Amino acid sequence: MTTKKVLDVVGLKTSFFTDDGEVPAVDHVDFHIHEGEIVGIVGESGCGKSVTSLSIMKLIPSPPGKITSGHIYFNGEDLVQASEKRMREVRGNDVAMIFQEPMTSLNPLFTIGNQLMEAVRIHRKWSKKEAKEHVIKMLKLVGLPRAEELIHDYPHQLSGGMRQRVMIAMALLCDPKLLIADEPTTALDVTIQAQILQLMKELNQKLNTAIMLITHDLGVVAEVCDRIVVMYAGKVVEETSVKALFQQPKHPYTMGLIKSVPDKREKKDRLYSIPGNVPKPGSIKTGCRFAARCEFVTERCLSEDPQLYHVNDEHKVRCFLHEEGEVNINDRVVTTS
């Protein structure tokens, strides 16, 4: 069954204007998310994941940041053209976001109940009693005990895992069509991480909420996502289903990421790491941005920027190796035609 696109990002470019000129942090990015789908945005720190999410919410600090071109279609409406008044209606209501560190997102001066009830009353125009009942219901939905008492607590009285559950409850208060989760488990221990991921998966299935999950952790992606968008230096370098990505990654960068994940079945003296570092935004003017770190680099890679090739109906990759015919990468033959 075909589902409609909730989000369709087309040619998005977001730049920061500094004393040295324009620095593109997100450079002509394209991807989409269907209704009820969980899509992972993956890449190293500095690849443009968070800037992409902030661009969708139109929360890029301006100046120095600005969306300079492209479109962000949410249910057919281009948010790039939306006024700030319209965006205030969209944020928290139709599109919600969970940030990395809940302690910096919750106001330490107000109780949990006050902060959650305010969001409901602004968007839904409910009475205080109706808002309170709904908040308690949502806190229970995300697995928090004694919700009736919890609404009177302040953020510092809760553990990190409980605060993150509060943030998820806050994001889901108005039944958003799209939930953006920016590294939602980064500050949590492994056990709580697993609980939060399971919770997000369950809520996705119960409420049919589309989720954009931003992470650098491939284990998280394998656990909950349907599709993956791999970003590098502000560009999408590979996009496919989770199964296809782990079984047959096609971009050298993606292959490096997967090889970097420790395998408990193999004993190694040294863990693999991709040589070099992510280039500084705007520092590469010509050629493939991964060329300096790629073991398959050619002269063409240094002078031309590859486009995003369609390997098949569900797999796209930004690499000349997959322009046509068969190529052999790491002793595996990949058919691209």
Residue numbers in the chain where pLDDT is lower than 50: 1, 325-326, 328, 331-337
Quote the pLDDT of residue 311: 87
In a domain, 114, yes or no: no
Quote the pLDDT of residue 317: 94
In a domain, 319, yes or no: yes
In a domain, 332, yes or no: yes
Quote the pLDDT of residue 103: 65
Quote the pLDDT of residue 333: 42
Quote the pLDDT of residue 84: 92
Quote the pLDDT of residue 102: 63
In a domain, 310, yes or no: yes
Looking at the 3D structure of the chain, how many domains does it have?
1
Residue 335: give the domain boundaries: 247-337
In a domain, 274, yes or no: yes
DSSP string, 306-334: ---EEEETTEEE--GGGSSSEEEETTEEE
In a domain, 237, yes or no: no
Question: What is the percent of the chain with per-residue pLDDT over 90, rounded to a whole number?
Answer: 45
Cα torsion at 10, 11, 16, 20 (round to 10°)? Answer: 180
**Burial status of residue 275 (CB atoms within 10 A of its CB: 0-12, 13-18, 19 or more):** exposed
Comparing C-alpha atoms, which of 243, 281, 327, 212 is closest to residue 22? 281
> 287 in helix, strand or coil?
coil
Quote the pLDDT of residue 225: 93
Phi, psi (deg, nearest 5) at residue 9: -95, 125
Cα torsion at 208, 168, 85, 52 (round to 10°)? Answer: -80
Quote the pLDDT of residue 187: 66
In a domain, 234, yes or no: no
In a domain, 193, yes or no: no
Quote the pLDDT of residue 123: 79
